[in-house]
Structure 1
Amino acid sequence: MTATTETQRRLRTEIPGPASRALQQRRAAVVAAGVSSVLPVYVTSAEGGLLTDADGNVLIDFGSGIAVTNVGHAAPAVVDRVREQAGRFTHTCFMVTPYEGYVEVCEALDKLTPGTHEKRSVLFNSGAEAVENAVKIARAATGRQAVVVFDHAYHGRTNLTMALTAKSIPYKHGFGPFAPEVYRVPGSYPYRDGLSGPEAARIAIDRIEKQIGGDQVAAVVLEPVQGEGGFIEPAPGFLSALSRWCTENGVVFVADEVQTGFCRTGEWFASTHEDVVPDLIATAKGIAGGLPLAAVTGRAELLDAVGPGGLGGTYGGNPIACAAALGSIEIMRQENLAASAKRIENTVLPRLRALAEVTGVIGDVRGRGAMLAAEFVKPGTTEPDADLTKRVAQACHQAGVVVLTCGTYGNVVRLLPPLSLSTELLEEGLSVLEHAVRTEAAK
């Protein structure tokens, strides 16, 4: 069985049920404890925006595997292309004997990413690899070493990307020493800093110029909307001001669009919301419908500054993953999933804002497209309430709706439904979330 035939949420057992609990016991004996799971239900099939677990429970998925299955689970165009490619060959290594699929993905990225300049791309396996290689490319092209990142940032779990990431636990604690020449500056967090975009950018730029020196910076790396840090949408003007400063100082502007990319925010890429054209853009997650694929795309002169053999990897641009990406991009175009993301935004934000007004425990509602969040605080304050956030998420899980939490303070519920999710399932999942918030806030 490769896909569920279910069309609605259904609970047959408690969550997790006995079959999932049995699998959890097997897992404990063989899987490293450092690998955690948000909700220990063991999925046996998935389709569209629904997950079916080992006990026959059908859950609404508001997580999309952390913004990966933008086109929905088991999307036919993805499955068909993967099946066809797997029947021809599964691997040769593009660095040994290349194949057309890799080139086709790079051609698509050339057309889809912001900017009309001449571009090049290189493919990898994960978002962390993409970000790390973007830094490598920037350093090689500029001859500089310093890399600037921001408060609340998340960029991955490799040694270099842990250095780029802000939050210690669970991402960095005990894993140092980290890569040098990484400098952190304040970003834009409108709910908490109250600054306009240009004001926040001036503070960041002043810090860079005084403490590092603009002529020493190879790259500024930032998420157009911060993901793990709390779905923080910078104030208007922040990204564009930083982009201009980078251009004026010969600094490579790197947009980490691993979570925001591929129609997630209502545009193909979140940088477009402010008409920002990154020098390099790192992508992954939503690119390939669930298969591991990532990319760095950017100005030809930057990527071509790296000599032959300086970029690559055994599995980077695997042919099956490339086939999945081409199927995923086909769906996004044909079904106009950027517009679908805006439909989700227009449904979710009014309901979350009304919920905030009624309960008094949501300090901020924010986000774009199908990348939306509610930040929970103690009533009458801006003090983060991580405990309430956890209870709300658990209540949703018990009722058969998968939601995720995030944020530096652990007080944000984030919603990342598949862009293809029906309005009916979206409304039903929101009703579950609303009930959970009302119930837990009253305790």
Structure 2
Amino acid sequence: MAGGWLAEAAIGGGLITAGFILGLVAGNGSNGAVAGLALYAGWHLRNVLRLGHSLRRDGDTPESLGLWGDLFERLHRARREALAGRRRLAQIVQRFEDSSAALPDAAVVLGDGGRIDWCNEAAERLLGLSTPRDLGQRITNVVRHPDFASYFNGQGARADGVEFLSPVRNDLALHAQLVSFGHGRVLLVVRDITQVQRLEQIRRDFVANASHELRTPLTVVHGFLETLTSDMAAVPQRWQRPLELMNQQTLRMQHIVDDMLILARLEGDGTRGMDSDLDVPTMLQSIRGEALVLSGSHGHRIDLDADPALWLRGNELELRSAFTNLISNAIQHTPDGCVVNIRWRAHGGGALLEVQDHGEGIAPEHLPRLSERFYRVDASRSRALGGTGLGLAIVKHALARHGADLRITSELGQGSTFSCVFPAGLSRRVACATAAAVDPAP
């Protein structure tokens, strides 16, 4: 920069001095100095015009002397760096487009108002989007499916995503999920889950068919075993214990088959389970009576605290199965003579069922997996109690069909609480109810 100032001073001073000398020679030094200053101003004007032309046309950077030379040099370097930056950015964008084009999942970048800013080739294949035709369009105007529109407008948890049929092909099942990034931008990721659904359907069909096929021979075997063990005095001593064990295990297998058939029915029926108004307090009173019989000589106390006016819209068989499983589990895992609490009350605009036992409790690492099929915290103890390992899976599926959640809290040595949380809109208030508000065990 110092060199530029020196050169600029030399140019300006040289032109004025030369003009002054020439003016002296012509007889008027002042006029010559003015002429030199005019030349210096014209030189600046020329450089300004050259700069404007270069900026407008984005052409080659001109060359000059003095401060203008420094300015043009800086402009040249800035242009060169910007060009290199644009090339690097273009390479990055090209690599991104190449990699996104190779993805099997559709990716759509959405801007303000859900307008499409960019999409990859998979989005064209799965969603029928086309670039540049659909750029700037609202995604809900292009993907016209009510389930997707509801999910996009905020109905449902964003992390869960939504499943719907492809607008391009009805035989393609898609799963879409929205992910926020940047400032006000959203990434829509859509994957083809057709094969996964087919495999899941094959699994459900296999389980259901195998269960149906096993039910008949198990019934026959159990019937003969019951006949043989009905008069144990007539059975030779050495066969009594084997027959007793065979009878127990056959009965256990029947329970497993029955639970598997219930699960297969819950999974296979795509309709939701809400078909009638249910008198839940009366249902719980009935289940409590059955639980007292199950407890028998173990002497459990079962306290029922139910809001008698709180009913529920749902499927009676499914909810009764879910509630029975929860209460039976509480009985099985509560020490003899201890209490099991059942509470039915309004909660957050919906309804809440809590089943609390006072057993050994469950370690935190087991809680996320309790509703998996055949998962047991203590396998040997569960089998000894006659459990199938499918009860909580049935509960979870039955609640899911009613839009409800299963929540489990537990502390080792303090017992566990299983909560069924029903959403607003399912509960009903009735003027008269038949269930007792508080019905502790005698």
Query: Shorter-chain TM-score: what band?
Result: under 0.3
Tell me the TM-score normalised to structure 2 length. Answer: 0.25
Higher-Rg structure is 2
**Comparing both chains, which one has the higher relative contact order based on Cα–Cα distances under 8 Å and sequence gaps of 6 or more?**
1
* More helix, by proportion: 2
Q: TM-score, normalised by structure 1?
A: 0.25
